[in-house]
Structure 1
Amino acid sequence: MATTALQVLYPNSRPSYDNKDTWLTLEETAVEKRFDMIFRPTYDFPGDYIDGYHKFLASAPIFPDNLAEGCIDIGYEGWLLPADACKLYELAYFNPDVLEIGTYRGLSSAVMSHAIVNAGNGGQIVTVDLDPVHQYVARVAHDTRKVPGRENIHYFVFDGTEFVRSLYEREEPRLFQMVFVDHTHVYEPMLDICPLLHKVTAPGGFVLFHDYNDQRNANPEALDFGVYQAVNETLSKEHFEFYGIFGACGLYRRR
């Protein structure tokens, strides 16, 4: 079997830092803290960043408009803070078999595809979105911008929760090293999907929740937000442990 770039650079690539000291209560997230929760590594690698593209994401151009305040602008519509993008890149670099729930316009899958190619692991991304327009726009954007590894991005138009069920109800359940959950920030659909995630996450793998650290979760008037509450109420504590907050994201590791 050929040796990958990842095996050469990081032969003992195992999670080294659990970042449990980044834990925030719901009340603490009620005050804007997304920009305070900077990228911190989960894996041990020399320097502050894995490679040049990882470093680029940390200082990428920022959207000027208020709706995407502080989010990176690398040619795709979407909402990722630099810390979000850096964590996505790191996790996909070391865990190249990815399930993305919520494609939107292709920003996060582009970031992760860069990571997988740069790691030299020959991984793939399975990405699902309920909206066929989102899938079409993402696919065109990836093709137009010639995203490295785009031939290994597999697009599905489906409800996120039902798609997860279809993966584990197969004769041989499909498990992923990494799952990125970003299809909704509404409490009820998050409540539906969280109890199922251990069934599609490989032992030792990770689930990253976008909008986990968002002050709107703690606002009773923001009825379309409830990621933090749903995760902490229904994600299996038997199967997952908290592994850090970075930007707007909360990370959990499969036991």
Structure 2
Amino acid sequence: MLFRSAFVRSRPPEIAPRFLPAPQPLPRIEDLGRDYAPYRPLFAAPPEAGHHLIAGWPVEGALIVTEPRGFLRPADALTLFDLARYQRGNVLEIGSAWGLSATILCRGVAARRSGGRVISVELDPLFQAATCAAVKRAGLSRWHSLRKGDGTALMEQAIARGETYGAIFIDHDHGPTASEAACRLLPELLAPDGLALFHDFNDRLNTSGAYGIHAAVSALLAADTRFAFYGMPGCCALIGWAR
């Protein structure tokens, strides 16, 4: 037993696989909502149980139909799993709704050897309760924390505490003001080699001004050349530090 304990303690840390996407130009706003790319792995690693589980969920009208409910395409969900599974450090989720994305992110973190937690930020009390219940039903509560309140305010508080995250999923208020604030704060919250996924970036509502995600991401990339755009999995945009 002593030998076994010593062996477990000396196990080498998990090595992150190679990141696959290359930087590419940001799509034009007028081209959004026309095509939705299928899932492509973000990292050079074989599929595992989490991938197979998500890939087996039923789909209706291009969206996953499962419990908890949500508005994720399969490519969105599988990309979320990749981010949580292979990025180091904690994962920040801004906007959790019924908890579908939170459970996927927790499954990714749970599959690591390197530890970490998913911190969900949610403003709506009903969604707060739904997210915690969904995570609990899935047996994933040990990897999850919930912060109640406004996304922008709680991002600012996290920065003040010196927190950084290996992966950030932004899916709260899609309006121009909240989207601009998220992009403005992102450089201070994202750890070195960190990646951020913006939900509903590939949506025609960005062209009408109802959503401000494309405009905010475009402004960030123009203002800070340390960042790069890595593609549009499903209806999302993936950005991060240039590699």
TM-score normalized by the length of structure 1: 0.84
Matched, 1:108 2:101: yes
| Partner of residue 177, structure 1 | 166
Q: Which residue of 1 aligns with 2:22?
A: 18
Alignment of 1:93-132 (within 5 A): 93-96=85-88, 97-132=90-125
Matches within 5 A, 1:15-94: 15-18=19-22, 20=24, 23-29=26-32, 31-34=33-36, 37-46=37-46, 50-63=47-60, 69-94=61-86
Question: Unpaired runs of 5+ in structure 1?
Answer: 64-68
Can you list the C-alpha shifts for 1:202-222, whole angstroms capped at 9, x where unaligned? 01010110001112212x2xx
Determine if the alignment matches structure 1 residue 163 to structure 2 residue 160: no
Mark the CA change 1:73 to 1:165 in structure 2 (over 3 Å): closer, same or farther.
same
Alignment equivalent of 1:137, drawn from 130, 143, 163:
130
Preserved contact between residue 58 and residue 83 of structure 1 (Cα < 8 Å): no
What SS does the corresponding residue of 1:205 show, helix, strand or coil? strand
Give yes or no for the alignment of 1:242 onto 2:229. Answer: yes
Structure 2: which 5+ residue stretches go unaligned? 1-8
Contact 2:57 2:64 in 1 (8 A): yes
Measured in 2, the distance between the counterparts of 1:3 and 1:160 equals 38
* Distance in 2 of aligned mates of 1:16 and 1:3: 27
Distance in 1 (alpha carbons) for counterparts of 2:125 and 2:11? 38
Residues in 2 aligned to 1:95 and 1:12: alpha-carbon distance in whole angstroms: 7
> Does 2:178 align with 1:153?
no
Q: In 1, distance between residues paired with 2:108 and 2:126?
A: 25
Distance 1:73 1:158 in 2: 28
Letter paired with 1:42: L
Post-superposition offset of 1:106: 0.6
Distance 1:117 1:156, change over 3 A: same
Q: Distance in 2 between matches of 1:211 and 1:25?
A: 15
Amino acid at match of 2:117: Q
Match of 2:219 in 1: 233
Coordinate RMSD, CA, aligned? 2.0
**Runs of 4+ that moved beyond 3 A:** 1-4
Change (3 A) 1:110 1:12: closer
Distance between the aligned counterparts of 1:2 and 1:111, measured in 2?
Answer: 30
Provide the secondary structure at the position in 2 that maps to 1:80: coil
Percent identical: 29
Question: How far does residue 121 in structure 1 lie from its aligned partner after superposition?
Answer: 2.8
Pick one of 202, 205, 216 that aligns with 2:191: 202
Deviation at 1:74, TM superposition (A): 2.5
Aligned-partner Cα distance in 2 for 1:155–1:246: 26
Deviation at 1:155?
0.3
Q: How many residues are aligned here?
A: 232
CA contact 1:57–1:85 (8 Å) conserved in 2: yes
Q: 1:150 to 1:216 in 2, by over 3 A?
A: same
User: By how many angstroms is 1:165 displaced?
Assistant: 0.7
Displacement after TM superposition at 1:12 (Å): 5.1
C-alpha deviation, 1:164, in angstroms: 0.8
After TM superposition, give the deviation of residue 55 of structure 1 in Å.
2.5
